[in-house]
A and B are shown apart, each in its own frame.
Chain A
Amino acid sequence: MTTTLPVSRRSDNAALRKLRRNSGAMLGFVLLLLLLLAALFGPLFLGNPGAQDLAARLSPPSAAHWLGTDQLGRDVLTRVLSGARISLGLGVSVMLASLITGSLIGLLAGLLSGWWDEGLMRLTDIFLAFPSLILAMAISAALGPNLTNVMIAVALVSWPTYARLIRAQVLALREREFVEAARALGSSQGRVALRHLLPNSLAPLLVQGSFDVGSAILTAAGLGFIGFGAQPPTPEWGAMVSETRNYIAQAPWASSAPAVAILLTVLAFNLIGDGLRDVFDPRGR
């Protein structure tokens, strides 16, 4: 069975055109593309991020070390680019895990109504009231501070936003004619949810998802900074800032390079999120 969805190819093209004209979003995409290329290919040319040269410790930026070296003589650029793989992977994984969990809960709440809706939304309220970093710290401390546990911890506190978002979309869409038509043609609840409601809720999810990748990277780097995330010598950006913080007076490049990398990555995702919001919901500007 096929039913025409309101999301048409023509409106998709119009959205793409609008996005292309949005200079902020384009800057975000270019930044992200550069970061992705650097993360993918940089480490192939730059060698081992853990390689130490104690004779060259805390060297300023030079032709040999473009971003200088840290307190153990490790090349800061190599470590920052290796860290890009970690942070980008972590941000996207956390966003996808929270998006899938939150969307499932939001879809169920919106579709099932009644007590299910009430129960699932109260569960969402409970997790929204949780101080996310403190919960993430406790989980990470108990499971052991490493990247996987950081991802679990951050995803566990990030899903409620998606649940609320998708539920609101489902409530707005479920009485629309195209959904009623699908039901009248015999579509099951699951099919209506996956083929009709979810595709028409993608725009706000996409906007929220863009912001959340940056937010997850910031949170995970914060956890890394206070010792609850990736552990040295892993070249995770937050842990790198933490490792080099005591040398900021002698070698500001060592802690500033990973911090600026975090800033640029979060900035790229925020710019993309802003652009997508301008396209899909101009009132939210």
Chain B
Amino acid sequence: MLIYILRRLALMVFVLWGVTLAAFLISHALPADPAAAALGNNAREAQLQEFRVRNGLDKSLPVQYGVYMGRLLTGDLGTSLRTQNSITADLKQFFPATLELTLGAVVFAVLIGLPLGILAALQHGKALDLLARIFALLGGATPVYWLAILALNVFHERLGWLPGPGRLDAYSLAPPVHSGLMTVDAVLARDPQVLVDGLRHLILPGLVLGAFSAALLTRMTRSALLEVLSQDYIRTARAKGLKGSRVIWRHALKNAALPLLTVFGSLFGSLLTGAVLTETIFSWPGIGSYATTSAISLDFPAVMGVTLVAGLAYSLVNLIVDLAYASFDPRISFS
């Protein structure tokens, strides 16, 4: 198993290097001038040239890439052309917000998708099954930004049940930053008011972002469980006189978990895509918003930084999913 993990980690390093190279080549192949984008249309040629020299954009491509990689090996992702801050520092500031939102979305997706999928499979062919299938179909086809606009309009503007955009209300004082996760920092600061406010702000964007994942999870749980429930060993367990709940929890769900793990791996990509759109609408200061503003201003070093962090997270999630396979299914070996 150790050899397998080491091989996968080596492959991950290679893939991430490839991501930097591909992102670098694509960003430099595009006919756009980051200097003009940063300084505006009225900038004089001398100013543009000074900007290019200051940011190393006047050097040849291999030199620029070499400098970038040299810095990257020391954990330095370069300087943002837009904010002029260290990109590593920018990402450290923005990433926790996205992580908190994504975790919130996963919690909602699991809380909705798993029970609904299980109930649909147990009530196969009945009204609840039909409702779950409709939810799964609609959830997978609904544009996340429209859902976000509707949710804000109904639950914030009309009903006033939940707060609007942002991570905290205007009157709430943000706790001292330790983890960057508002809820965790509020707990560390022993500030229940901010904790409740942070959690309330997480509900709408978390639900909106988690809707697609909940739909996918409902559908996959239902189909995985239906397949397992038709197996001989389930019939045998029932024939032995085992209680229905024990058959489901001990025999069926454990065997249905494997395909569900695959879903978790693929969910990550859709969550990141959804986060870009959700963060834009909910004014959520995460890496999705950061990537959007960086792309608008042709700040390619910042876009490359986000790409690399997202690629790393994607690769790690998939590695963890693959490793988790073995603990669920002893037939899988890593040799």
C-alpha spacing A283/B226, complex, angstroms: 11
Task: Find out whether the CB atom of A125 lies under 8 angstroms from the CB atom of B18.
Answer: yes
Give Cα A262–Cα B140 distance, bound, in whole angstroms.
11
Known: A131-B269, A226-B292, A241-B145. A126 touches B18 (CB 8 A): yes
Interface residues of A in 222-259 (CB under 8 A from B): 222, 225-228, 238, 241-242, 245, 248-249, 252, 255-256, 259
Flag whether A221 is at the interface (Cβ < 8 A): yes
Name A127's closest neighbour in chain B (CB-CB). B22
CB pair A126–B19 under 8 Å, yes or no, is: yes
B179 is an interface residue with CB less than 8 A from chain A: no
Taking CB atoms and an 8 Å cut-off, the chain B residues in 8-22 that contact chain A are: 11, 14-16, 18-19, 22
Interface assignment of A218: CB less than 8 Å from any CB of chain B: yes
**CB within 8 Å for A263 and B138 given contacts A126-B22, A222-B277:** yes
B-side contacts of A256, CB under 8 Å = 146, 150
Q: How far is the CB of A261 from chain B (nearest CB, A)?
A: 10
B93 contacts chain A at the CB level, 8 A cutoff: no
A123 on the B face (CB < 8 A): yes
Residues of A within 8 A of B144 (CB): 222
Chain A residues 23-57 with CB under 8 Å of chain B are none
- Closest Cβ–Cβ distance, residue B322 to chain A (whole Å): 13
State whether the Cβ of B143 lies closer than 8 Å to any Cβ in chain A: yes
Query: Nearest residue in B to A132 (C-beta to C-beta)?
Result: B273
Distance (whole angstroms) from the CB of B327 to the closest CB of chain A: 23
Q: How far is the CB of B311 from chain A (nearest CB, A)?
A: 4
- The minimal Cβ–Cβ distance linking B315 to chain A, given in whole angstroms, is 6
User: A95-143: which residues lie under 8 A (CB-CB) from chain B?
Assistant: 122-123, 125-135, 137-143
**Contact status B269-A262, CB under 8 Å:** no
Q: Is B310 an interface residue (CB 8 A)?
A: yes
- Chain B contacts of A262 at CB under 8 A? 141, 143, 146
In this complex, how many residues of chain A approach chain B with their Cβ under 8 Å: the count is: 48
Report Cα–Cα, A60/B62, bound state, in Å. 59
Chain B 288-308, CB within 8 Å of chain A: the 1/0 string?
000110011010100100110
| Stretch in B24-32, B107-115, B181-189 with 4+ CB within 8 Å of A | B24-32
Type the 1/0 row for A171-190, where 1 means its CB is closer than 8 Å to any CB of B. Answer: 00000000000000000000
A140 and B276 CA atoms in complex are apart in Å by: 15
By the criterion CB–CB under 8 Å, are B141 and A270 in contact?
Answer: yes
Dominant secondary structure at the A interface: helix
Task: Pick from B144, B149, B273, B315 the residue with the most CB of A within 10 Å.
Answer: B149
**A131 x B311 contact (CB < 8 A):** yes
How many residues of chain B have a CB within 8 Å of chain A? 49
Task: Using known A-B contacts A143-B30, A249-B157, A263-B138, determine if residue A131 contacts B22 with beta carbons closer than 8 Å.
Answer: no
A194 to B158, CA, bound (A): 59
User: Contact partner of B303 among A138, A143, A264, CB < 8 A?
Assistant: A138
A143-B31, A271-B137 known; A228-B146 Cβ under 8 A? no
Taken together as a complex, chains A and B put the C-alpha atoms of A129 and B13 apart, in Å, by: 12
Contact A142 B292, beta carbon cutoff 8 Å: no
Instruction: List which A257-285 residues lie within 8 A (CB) of chain B.
Output: 259, 262-264, 266-267, 270-271, 283, 285
8 Å CB contact of B137 from A238, A267, A283: A267
Minimum distance in angstroms from B252 CB to a CB of chain A: 17
Taking a contact as CB atoms under 8 Å apart, the answer to whether B31 and A245 are in contact is: no
CB distance from B15 to the nearest CB of A (A): 5
Shortest distance between the CB of B12 and any CB in chain A (Å): 9
List of B residues within 8 angstroms of A133 by Cβ:
272-273, 276-277
Are B32 and A226 within 8 A (Cβ)? Answer: no
Q: Which A residue sits closest to B294, measured CB to CB?
A: A138
A270 with B140: CB separation less than 8 A: yes
CB-based nearest A residue for B137:
A267
Q: B280 interface residue, CB < 8 Å from A? A: yes
Chain B residues whose CB sits within 8 angstroms of the CB of A141 once the complex forms = 32, 295-296, 298
C-alpha spacing A283/B259, complex, angstroms: 12
Known A137-B292, A241-B146, A262-B143; contact A129-B314, beta-carbon cutoff 8 A: yes
Would you call B153 and A249 a contact (CB within 8 A)? yes
Beta-carbon contact of B277 and A225 below 8 Å: yes
* Known contacts A132-B273, A249-B157; is-contact A259 B307 (Cβ 8 Å): no
Shortest 5 CB-CB contacts between residues of A and residues of B: A126-B18, A142-B30, A259-B146, A142-B32, A266-B141
Binding site for B on A (CB under 8 A): 122-123, 125-135, 137-143, 214, 218-219, 221-222, 225-228, 238, 241-242, 245, 248-249, 252, 255-256, 259, 262-264, 266-267, 270-271, 283, 285
Query: Can you spell out 18 A-B residue pairs with CB atoms less than 8 angstroms apart?
Result: A122-B14, A122-B15, A125-B15, A126-B19, A130-B23, A130-B307, A132-B269, A133-B276, A137-B291, A139-B26, A141-B295, A214-B141, A218-B141, A218-B143, A226-B276, A227-B296, A252-B153, A266-B141
B interface with A by C-beta (< 8 Å): 11, 14-16, 18-19, 22-23, 26-27, 30-32, 137-138, 140-146, 149-150, 153, 157-158, 223, 226-227, 269, 272-273, 276-277, 280, 291-292, 295-296, 298, 300, 303, 306-307, 310-311, 314-315
Extra A-B contacts (7), CB below 8 Å, given A129-B15, A138-B295: A130-B19, A131-B310, A137-B292, A227-B296, A255-B149, A266-B141, A283-B227
